[in-house]
């Protein structure tokens, strides 16, 4: 990135943006090149997975132990929807407890990872098809911190969240991810957090270890499409029949999957883990690419 581009980016950032952005304009080496980082799609499920020692939290910790340490993390969470596309622009993102009815121990959790002015600038510079604004109100919601805290428990990797623009089509979300993929070669670990199957309206509290037939069918077909790199069918999820319709009544938990796919290329290995359907209508299946 050259000095002129950095100055242009700062000129459109809101007042109160990172204090360090001004200094970044004089630095050519914002996020220097690195070996290509992996991409993760994490089925986050219940917020309680943040504090419980279970199959899913252990799966995230195992994955974290196998990751190269990134310069920064860009997280796309199902729990931050906006009009327009935004990244978090605070130096110290707050830990958002965006849920209710859980034990006090969960509300006591703080994940004090810093923000990243370098990543804010790099994301804006990388994406040319649309404007990325800078938000100073949000922070880290539980779709982000409840999983990242298991990957990097010391909270020593800067984290920036990217919002889900409600006005974009599934194809447009995928295309945005294609542009963001260049960040993988700048030491940025990109994490998409949601659930492939997510229908809270028909949760079966009496079936903690299994799924409805349609949920299992949709999850199996999604996995086949992921492994065969059939991205077009996954983008056109609304055309895939009744099982998909029941599994994705609203798209916000599914759309992060499209980001992980858009960030990948045809040569990279794909690994599935935490592959379980539970409580009737939730899939915890997670994906590592690269």
pLDDT tens digit sequence for 71-126: 999 999 999 999 999 999 999 999 999 999 999 999 999 999 999 999 999 999 99
Span 127-168, pLDDT tens digits: 999 999 999 999 999 999 999 999 999 999 999 999 999 999
Q: For strands 85-88 and 132-135, give the pairing.
A: parallel
Query: In sequence order, what are the beta bridge partners of 280?
Result: 211
Half-sphere exposure of 1 (CA within 13 A, CB side): 29
Q: How many domains does the chain have?
A: 1
Q: What CATH number should be reported for the domain holding residue 125? A: 3.40.830.10
CA distance 196 to 191: 14
- 7-46 burial, b for 16+ CB within 10 Å, e for fewer? eebbeebeeebbeebeebbeeeebbeeeeebbbbbbbbbb
Domain that holds residue 102: 3-289
Answer whether 0.85 is exceeded by the pTM: yes
Q: Tokens standing for 267?
A: 């040569």
């Amino acid at each position: 990135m050259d000095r002129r581009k950095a100055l242009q980016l700062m000129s459109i950032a809101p007042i109160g943006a990172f204090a360090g952005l001004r200094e970044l304009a004089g630095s050519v080496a914002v996020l220097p090149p690195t070996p290509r980082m992996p991409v993760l799609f994490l089925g986050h499920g219940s917020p309680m997975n943040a504090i419980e020692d279970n199959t899913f939290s252990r799966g995230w910790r195992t994955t974290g132990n196998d990751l190269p340490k990134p310069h920064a993390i860009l997280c796309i969470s199902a729990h931050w929807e906006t009009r327009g596309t935004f990244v978090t622009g605070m130096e110290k993102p707050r830990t958002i407890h965006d849920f209710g009815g859980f034990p006090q121990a969960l509300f006591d959790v703080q994940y004090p990872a810093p923000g990243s002015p370098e990543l804010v600038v790099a994301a804006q510079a990388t994406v040319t098809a649309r404007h990325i604004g800078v938000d100073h109100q949000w922070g880290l919601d539980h779709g982000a911190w409840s999983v990242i805290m298991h990957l990097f428990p010391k909270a020593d990797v800067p984290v920036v969240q990217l919002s889900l623009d409600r006005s974009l089509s599934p194809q447009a979300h995928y295309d945005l991810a294609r542009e963001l993929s260049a960040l993988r070669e700048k030491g940025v670990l990109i994490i998409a957090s949601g659930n492939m199957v997510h229908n809270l309206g028909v949760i079966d509290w009496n079936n903690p270890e299994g799924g409805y037939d349609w949920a299992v069918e949709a999850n199996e077909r999604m996995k086949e499409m992921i492994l065969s790199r059939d991205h077009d069918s996954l983008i056109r999820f609304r055309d895939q029949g009744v099982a998909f319709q029941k599994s994705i009544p609203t798209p916000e938990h599914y759309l992060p999957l499209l980001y992980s796919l858009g960030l990948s290329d045809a040569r990279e290995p794909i690994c599935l883990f935490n592959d379980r359907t539970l409580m009737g209508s939730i899939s915890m299946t997670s994906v590592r690419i690269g």
